[in-house]
Structure formats: structure tokens, C-alpha cells
Structure 1
Amino acid sequence: MKRKFVIGIDFGTLSTRTILTNVATGEIIAVAEREYPHKIIDKVLPDGVTILGPDWALQHPADYLKCASTTIQEVLNNSGIDPKQIIGVGTDFTECTMLPTKADGTPLCMIDAFKSNPHAYVKLWKHHAAAEEADKLNEIAASRDEDFLADYGGKISSEWMFPKIWQILNEAPEIYEAADRFMELADWITLQLTGVEKRNSCTAGYKAMWNKQNGYPSAAFFKALDPRLEQVIDEKMSRDIFPVGHKAGEITEGSSQWTGLAVGTAVSVGIGDAHAAVIGSGITKPDILLMVMGTSGCDMLVSNSDIKVPGISGVCEDGILPGFYGYEAGQSCMGDHFAWFAEHCVPERIEEEARAANKKVLELLNEKADNIRPGASGLLSLDWWNGNRSILVDADLTGSIFGLTTATTAEEIYKSLVEAVAFGKRMIIENFINHGVIIREIIATGGIAEKSPFIMQTFADIIGKPIHIAATQQGTAMGAAMLGAVAAGSRQGGYDTIQRAGREMGKGIKKTYTPRPEHRQIYDELYSEYVTLHDYFGRNSDSPLKRLKKIKIKTMVERKETGK
């Protein structure tokens, strides 16, 4: 009997990663990754002329297809596996990453009439230019006592679906009118593979205000936002939502040509990237928090209880694992945070030392920061370089560093930035616990968790709890692959439940970071100061950080209008 395989495709912020996995064992046979040619479009459109405003973050949908095609072909070539042995395909995507399309899925930005209109492109999850719409949505929902707000911690983020749709309507009504559909890319990519539009319960529940019991908010609510939005669900979305693990369809003759996969191969409905990582890490029972540590940070767990927790990203029944309530919180800036510092703030001495040692700059910074005792630098930072996702839910907040002197070194600043993200993570965890959500264990996955012992030990020291590293490599893509196995089903050599796939293909724990008692007291003191700064700058509607951002935006608008 021939071995069976599945493919998992992880569409991340900067690249697409594809894995080929043995269904029976979870062994990864081949991995391929490609960066998006257009990267993140945040300054000017590909036309080289159209300038973007502040807080924009776009991508080009053609990049996703090109990178998927290239990486699938690469894992097939490198493994020598016959495509007919592949029984299923699963995909995950960043979220809310959304796109206006025609009814057949054609992106508006790929139509000549709209290629110079920014609103025709993919709005990446980190597109924060819909903050004004988010604020108005939250104000109107609160005034109407809308029940759905409690499922999202009391506030809808500017990163979510409907603030982005509303921004399109406000700023480019011609794009809104031309769009037959507004789609999460998690659903758009399965449409490209199968020719069938099947929207998944994960991204609908966490990013589009859909509830398993109640569906979407009422037409009356959308009308209260804007009369033009009254029928947005029926005109531009879909009320047909399918659970995670459901079969979306099969590889078509058309998609077989650009993927190299066999016609008829099962394809799972999409899922959010962080949620896929829960499954990929082999988590099949409640009360285990998974920290997904990549460009941003996401915190996921499933529970038997439905508790309304303020400041989280959402709680969704069946959003991650069937039969449980899935919780999500997170931080908008993690790997982004460290990459920014390495790119813009490192002195020449660090770069020269890294080159001499044949090391990456961040690798050297980790080593140097690890030798600095907690509290010795006198620094404390706020981790809001991309705004705050949890627990303040405020994209207008910006990062800060306190305690700088002329004696401060680059490695000290870097250590403070790492500590800031860990302090923010501790706030999220304590917010869950203080509102009755049980957390019995913490597991971490993602590039940072796998590659940086310094960062993970710092997190354990600050959070004050052991942090286990999932043994499954490529946890997000592995979760997608597991869903591909579930879409295929046991008759084809896959699995009939997500739990079974997780148990059989998951790899357990490979390492544990235990808090160091000698650092506990100083980190408790620093955390107390972090909370003070967090509340002063973050909960203050007239925060100096917000005033500074208003001045920045005003200046940028004036520059755009005058061309100077």
C-alpha cells in the first residue's frame, strides 16, 4: 500500500511556506518558502505613481498564486512524490486580510480600470487606516447595546473586516460598487483552488462579527452605520459558513495546471494562520494557551466555557476545534518589532561584529542582550510599534522607550524591546485569568519560539510560568496540512476528525523554558511600572501618543497635497 501525503500552505505576512507531510506520522518530507515579490505595499502602488497615506498596508494577490505555485512545485520536485499520492490540501492565511473581487473571484486590482486605486488591492491584516471607521462602528454598536460586541472584548479592531469595507465605501465608493464580493484571503485562495466559494467559520467568527448561533449582526445595525451598508451581507458577503475541517471542494483542471496537483485532490476550507497553529501543535484538549510567535503575536486557547473577556480579539464557538469555544488575543508587533530595530537602529560596530562572526545581526543582539541583567539598563518600553491589539484594541497607539541616556547601548535597547513584548504578553494572560478563563499550560510555536532561546527565556521569566515549545516544526503549515487530511477523510487515508489528526500527526513538546527565581522580583517591579505606563498612555483618550500621531498624519496629508 502506497504511503499517503498531504500538503499544507501557510500564507504569512511576508512569504508563502508549503510543506509536504506524511499523513500517518506527521513527518515533514519537504518544505519550500518564497517571499512575495511586491512584499508589503505601504508607500506607493506598483504603478510607481499612486502614493499611499499613513497606516496603509496592502499586498498584491498575484503574489499569493505565484508563491503557492512555486513552492508546491518545489516540494513535489524535491520529494519525488507522485501527486496522486497526495490526498488533501489545507491552507491558512493571515487575517483579516481582505480583498474586493468580482463574483468569480477576480481581484479588482487586476482589472485595468482599478489598478491605480489603492482600495482595489488586498488590505493586509496590519492595514490600520480604517481606525476612524472602527471607532465609529464601536460607538454606534455600544449605543445600540449590540450583543456581538461582548464576543470581541467590547471593541472591534480597525484590522477587522467591516471597518475595512466601510473605509472602501467612504473613500472609494466606485470600488465598493464594482465589488461583487469582499473576501478573506483564506476563502479566496480555496476559491482559486476549487472554483467554489466556501467561507470558513474561523475567519468569519473572529474577523467578521459572525456568530454560530446568531449569524451576522442585523441589517438594521449596518444601516445605522451607513444606509449604503444595510444589505452588505447579502449583496457582498455570504451567510453560508462552513466549519473548520470541512471539505471546500477539489483541485480543478484549471488549478491543477498551476499547482501540479492531481485533479480531484480534496481541499479543506480555509482557516486563520494562528488558529491553524493550535491544530498543528497537536493541541486537542481545552485550557492550553498557544502563543504563536512570528511577525505579530497571537494567543489562542480552547475552553469548555463561553466567557466574555474585555480586550480580547474574540471568542467563537467551533472557531478552532469543534465542540469548544475558541479564544483569541494578540499583539500587533512582535517579530516586526525586532526586525525594525535591526534594520534601523543598529550601530556599525554591531554590524561589523556580526559579519566577522558570520552571524545575523539579531542573533548577535540576542547573545549580547542575554548578558545584561534585568533592570541594569534602566530602560522600559511600550510595545505598540503596530498599535495595540490586546487588551486596549487601539491601532492609534505607538511605541515608546523610557530611561534613555547618552550611556545607553543598542543591546540594552534591544533587550528592553524584548521585555516590552513579554510584559504585554503577561497582561494578556492575566486578563484571561482574572476574568475566569482557565490556563493550565502554555505552549509556544513559530519562528521566534524555535530560534531564539534568549527571547523565550525572557518570556518565561516575565510571565512567571513554564513555556513549552511545540516539537512540531512549521506548526502553522502543519495545522493546514492536518485540515487537508480531514478534508480527505478516512476513506482516502486521512482522518474524520481534527482531534484525531492532531493526535496522530502532532509531535508533542521538545523543550521547556522554566522561570528563573533570581529574576522574578526585578521583573515584577518592572512589570508594575509597565502597567503604570500602559494605562497612562494607553487608556487616556488625550494621550500624548495620540496627539503626536495626529500631528504626524496632518503633516503627511499636507505633504501629499502640496507634493513637498
Structure 2
Amino acid sequence: MTGSDNGAVAIGIDFGTLSGRAVVASVADGRELASAEHVYRHGAIEETLPTSGAKLPRSWALQSPADWRDVLRIAVPKALEAAGVTADRVVGIATDFTACTVLPALADGTPLCELDDLAERPHAWPKLWKHHAAQGQADRINALAAERGEEWLPRYGGKISSEWQFAKGLQLLEEDPEVYGRAERWIEAADWIVWQLCGVETRNNCTAGYKGILQDGKYPSSEFLAALNPEFADFVEKIDFPIAALGDRAGGLTAQAAEWIGLNEGTAVAVGNVDAHVTAASAKAVGPGQIVAIMGTSTCHVVNGENLTEAKGMCGVVRDGIVPGLWGYEAGQSGVGDIFAWWVKNGVPGEYTAEAEKRGISIHQYLTELAENQNVGEHGLVALDWHSGNRSVLVDHDLHGVILGLSLQTKPEEIYRALVEATAFGTRKIVETLVGSGVPIEEFVAAGGLLKNKWLMQTYSDVLRMPITVLTSAQGPALGSAIHAAVAAGVYPDIKAAAEAMGKVERNAYVPDPARADAYDELYAVYDELHDHFGRGGSKALHKLHNIAIEASK
């Protein structure tokens, strides 16, 4: 995407699971002048450690800080060159990150994995958001918090996730206490990258609240942490730092960072943010009752409310967590696009792939064409979308996927359709839980890579019985970051004003079909039954299988 503009621009950088993307956008109207992507050399580190080749345990997922720096050095200059924009026209830069992606570092910001004596220690590396090996620690945190009646626990729907800072930090302590002791900082990548850009250490309100259990200005007490493990009592010292509001200016580009990316020293750098939450701005969904689903490898759901209520199984509710002045609610599904990719990689016959190649289309498109020709329920299947565990509303990453109703006549496209439907059912469960807890939802807004599949989006509309508004930018998080950069630079007084001017949406792009919606109600009832049976104690089979697999892999 290229273009030119004589006015001021802002740069947004979105650090994802496998790559980073930079967008150059006009601050006047959000028009995207150019974008560029850099694919991480190390990708998501899930099997072996890059330094030693040592096998990583089950459910681990790491990243490399070198890949993040390469996004600054490579993607941003490419985007600027494609846009034909000079440094003098750039008023600000902002970043967003997956979360909780967290790393141990020295007091000067040096990642521990970049120290020669720790490079071969897995716990010295950043833990990616989908690192789920701390479920045992999360279970203990939740049990103790419930037993002690910790006031913060209901703000997280009654359970904190294994993905978050405290569970991952406790795992670090208990599995590699030396690395834990060397870690002077336990910092979200969202804050670390801002530190690299402007030389100023900050903590953003979003990750601190949703991933760091910061509520009403307080973290969990040292007494609580010591009850988990006496050596964990000092953990808050590694994360505690003054909190900066979203849209604020963190500082100006350092000379080194300006040289990396080809901008002027002192250019405004915004406070860090999370990829999902920043997308609310690009989707013009910064008011109450507008839920945004950022649909990609996983899905994150964020919505603002005017009042505080405690919704069971949510990832959290944080004051000013999405925009200042409102309560921001977050929920999510740990696997969505990842589930479809798993099936394509492991379950689709070679002749299907050959036919797709012959026709010059992707295997996903070919399976979609076959699947959408069926009537709702014709395949006789219902699946549970837990291949990466359940983030909301069960908050249990030891749960795994289920497909019910298989027969010798079941076709690959039917399983593909059932998996798509399962993710839509999971979203409906989240929406119903929020509404049932007193969080009004008046508009469903979709963003992310899965918007390319129109049948999938129509399926979501039918399952939800709601019209769907779509973000028309292909780079929603990066555009959202550019919007925040414009605010940090002083172009707009606040996020709401910037979002109204720079956001890009198509209202009611998909409208539910009443007949299909009725049919999906029947399938959803079966999903709901399975959801509670396997997820709420009716059967412990999935947990037993998980434990057997863990022991067998040792």
C-alpha cells in the first residue's frame, strides 16, 4: 500500500506473534500511506532454544528481542520509503504488542537472554503470550486468592491466567531461581520496546492492569506472594513503576533509535499498549457497549463500560484500560486461526491440497468453498475450541479440543466447518457472559486477519444473531498505534477525538440470516452442554489426558 501526502503523519508499529508491521498514516484522516512487514527470524520459539538447540518442554513459547529490534531497523524504514515521507513530517511513533509477552532484564533494560552466561537458559528468554506452561502456578495463585478473599480476584472473573505476569514469574522462580534472582526487571515487551525507543522506562496502564494484577493502584501484597513461595515476596519490586496513561507521551526518540529507523531525534514516542486494546481506536469503538473482536491466530475481545461489574471468567476489568474515563473489559479465545491452521496442516488429504494448488487458491479458501455449500448442522458435528486451552470464560489452559459426532462419512471440510463454528460459539459464550453480568453490548466490531474469509464472518453474524461492523484497515493494531501516536504528539486532545478522525470501519457489513440463526441455536445448545460438561467439572477427562501426556513426554 503506497501513496503520498503533504501533511503530518504518525507511525504505528504492531509487534505480533510471528512478525512486526509498521504503518505510516495521515494524522488528518487516518489514510494509510504505506505499510511494511518484517517476519521474525526466530518466529515463535516453541520447540528448541536457538542458542543450544535444547528441546523446550511442552506448552512453552518464547521470543527473541533481536527480532523486535529488527522490526524497528527494517520494517519502519521500508514503510517510510514506500510512503515517500521524510522524517520532518513524522510527528509521533507508537507501538503495540501481544500480551502478556514478558521478559526478565537487568536494570538498564538488557534482556537476560542476551547475557553470555544465561543465553542457554530457557527461562532467560521472553515468554510469549501463548506460553502456557505456568498453569500449575496459576492454579495455586487462584486457589490461595480465593481462600484469602483477595479483593482483586473478582476483577479478573475469579481466575487469573497462566499467560500473565505473576504465574509466569512464579514459574521462573520455582524452575530457575538463579535467573529469577538475576532479573532486576520483569517487564512487558510492550514497555520494553518503548524503553528502547526513547530511553525512558515506563509502565502502561493497560498491561499493568490486565496482565499485572494492578487494581486501585495496588499490586497483590507481599504477604500474599510469600504465602505462595517465601522467595516470591519481592516479585512486585521487579514490576513496580509509575503508571502512564494510554495516549501519553513516554518521551522522545533517542539518537540511537532515531538512527535505527530514520527519524528525527526527539520525535514523540507514545506509551506502550496491547495489540487488541489499541485496535479499539482504529475501529472507532472507544465508547460504551462496542465490543471489538480482534480475530487472528487467537481472538481478543475488548469492550468499554461506564460502570464496574464483575463478570465471571473475563481476563479482567480495568479502569482506563482501553480509553481514559471508562472501565475496559477484556476476554479472549487462546486459539482461533491457529486451530484452522492445525487442521489444514495435520488433517487435510493431499488430494485436497493438490486441487487447491491446481485452482490457484489457498487450501483454506478451498475448504471454505466446500464447507459453505452445506446446510447448518448437516455435518452432524460440534467441536470445542480449546486446542490452546480456554482463556474465557473457564480460564483453564489444561483443557483441550473436542470434536463430537465423527463418523466414517465425515469429510475434511465438515471438520473445518465445525471448527469455525466452534470458535463462533466460543465468542457467543463470551458475549452472553458479559451481557449476563451487566455489561451492555450494542455493537459487535470485528478486526484482524480472519476478516478475509467472508463466509466465516457471516457464520459469526448468524451464530451471534448480531450485525457485524468491520474494521476496513488491514493493519488495525498498527493504525490504532498511529492514532495513539497522534495523541502523544498533541495533534488531538484525546483518543476519542483521534479515533473519530482516523478510524476506518464499515457499519453492519454482515447481517444475520434468521433461518441460519435458528439452526445455529440448536447447535449452540449442544456446544453449551459440552462446554459445561468438560469445562465445569462434569468430566475430568481432558485434565487427566493432559496430565498423562505431560508425564509421558518427560
Specify the TM-score bucket, using the shorter chain as the normaliser: over 0.9
TM-score of the pair, normalised by structure 1: 0.96
8 Å CA contact 2:42, 2:63 repeated in 1 = yes
The Cα shift of 1:470 comes to: 2.0
Q: Within 1, Cα distance between the matches of 2:373 and 2:423?
A: 19
Instruction: Find the residue that maps to 2:152 and give its secondary structure.
Output: helix
Q: Write the distance in 2 (CA, Å) between the matches of 1:388 and 1:281.
A: 26
- Aligned equivalents of 2:196, 2:471: Cα separation in 1: 32
Residue pair 2:449, 2:474 contacting (<8 A) in 1 also: no
Q: Could you tell me which residue of structure 2 aligns to residue 537 of structure 1?
A: 534
Instruction: Report how far residue 55 of structure 1 moved.
Output: 0.5
Partner residue of 2:251?
A: 249
Q: Distance in 2 between matches of 1:473 and 1:63?
A: 22
1:324-357 CA-to-partner distances (Å, cap 9, x unmatched) read 0000001000111111111221111210111111
Paired position in structure 2 for 1:522: 519
Measure, in 2, the Cα distance between the counterparts of 1:287 and 1:464: 16
In structure 2, the residue matched to 1:560 is: none
For 1:14 and 1:79, how far apart are their aligned partners in 2?
24
Within 2, Cα distance between the matches of 1:64 and 1:270?
14
Q: Could you say which residue in structure 1 is the equivalent of 2:317? A: 315
Aligned residue for 1:187? 191
Say whether 1:220 aligns with 2:217. Answer: no
The CA distance in 2 between the partners of 1:458 and 1:174, in whole Å, is 50
Aligned AA (1:150): P
Contact 1:233 1:239 in 2 (8 A): no
Deviations 1:88-129 (A, max 9, x none): 001000000000001111111111101110000010000000
Give 1:468 shift: 1.3
SS at match of 2:94: strand
Q: Distance in 1 between matches of 2:57 and 2:28?
A: 49
AA aligned opposite 2:460 = F
Give a deviation string over 1:33-86, Cα, whole Å, max 9, x none.
Answer: 121111111111012432111100111111111123210010111112101210
Of 422, 425, 428, the residue aligned with 1:426 is 428
Three-state SS of the structure 1 residue aligned to 2:553 is helix
Given that 1:101 and 1:107 are in contact with CA atoms closer than 8 Å, whether structure 2 keeps it comes out as yes
Q: Is the 8 A contact 2:15 2:98 kept in 1?
A: yes
CA drift of 1:542 comes to: 5.3
**Counterpart in the other structure of 2:166:** 162
How many Å separate the matches in 2 of 1:128 and 1:331? 13
Matches of 2:280 and 2:80 in 1, distance apart? Answer: 26
Confirm or deny: 8 A CA contact 2:134 2:163 kept in the other structure. yes
Matches within 5 A, 1:19-30: 19-30=23-34
Corresponding position of 1:75: 79
Shift of 1:467: 1.1
CA contact (8 A) 1:215 1:239 kept: no
SS at match of 2:466: coil
- Does the 8 A contact of 1:153 with 1:310 survive in 2? yes
Q: Is 1:504 matched with 2:507?
A: no
Matched with 1:561 is none
On the 8 A contact 2:202/2:241 being kept in 1, the answer is: no
Aligned equivalents of 1:239, 1:230: Cα separation in 2:
17
Deviations 1:353-397 (A, max 9, x none): 111111111111111111111111111100001000000000000
Describe how 1:371-520 pairs up with structure 2 within 5 A. 371-449=373-451, 451-489=452-490, 494-509=491-506, 512-520=509-517
Q: 1:244, 1:320 within 8 Å by CA — same for their partners in 2?
A: yes
Verify the 8 A CA contact 2:280 2:292 in the aligned structure 1.
yes
- In 2: Cα distance, 1:24 partner to 1:75 partner: 18
Partners of 2:539 and 2:522 in 1: CA distance: 27
Tell whether 2:287 aligns with 1:285. Answer: yes
Structure 2 CA distance for partners of 1:277 and 1:2, relative to 1, 3 Å: same
For 1:237, the equivalent position in structure 2 comes to 239
User: For residues 287 and 533 of structure 2, what CA distance do their matches in structure 1 show?
Assistant: 38
- Paired AA for residue 108 in structure 2: D
Alpha-carbon displacement from aligned partner over 1:429-479 (angstroms, at most 9, x marks no partner): 000111111011111111112x01011011111111111112333111111
User: Does the 8 A contact of 2:467 with 2:508 survive in 1?
Assistant: no
CA distance in 1, matches of 2:466, 2:489: 39
Structure-2 separation of matches of 1:26 and 1:96: 28
Aligned length: 550
The AA in structure 1 aligned to 2:289 is D
Gapped runs of 5+ residues in structure 2?
Answer: none
C-alpha distance in 1 between matches for 2:443 and 2:467: 8
- For 1:187, what is the secondary structure of its paired residue? helix
What is the aligned-residue identity percentage? 45
Find the aligned partners of 1:509 and 1:69 in 2 and give their Cα distance. 34
Q: Does 1:143 align with 2:147?
A: yes
Asked whether the equivalents of residues 9 and 16 of structure 1 are also in contact (C-alpha less than 8 Å), the reply is yes
Shift of 1:424: 0.7
Please tell me whether the aligned partners of residues 470 and 507 of structure 2 are also in contact (alpha carbons under 8 angstroms): yes
Secondary structure of the corresponding residue to residue 335 of structure 2: coil
Question: Residues of 2 paired with 1:31 and 1:204: CA distance?
Answer: 29
* Deviation (angstroms), 1:407: 1.1
Q: Structure 2 CA distance, aligned partners of 1:524 and 1:66?
A: 47
**Distance between the aligned counterparts of 1:240 and 1:196, measured in 2?**
12
Residue identity in the other structure for 1:461: D
Q: Which residue of 2 aligns with 1:202?
A: 206
Q: What SS is found at the alignment partner of 1:147?
A: coil
Q: Residue type matched to 1:40 in 2? A: A
1:239: how far off? Answer: 3.3
The residue type equivalent to 1:519 in the other structure is R
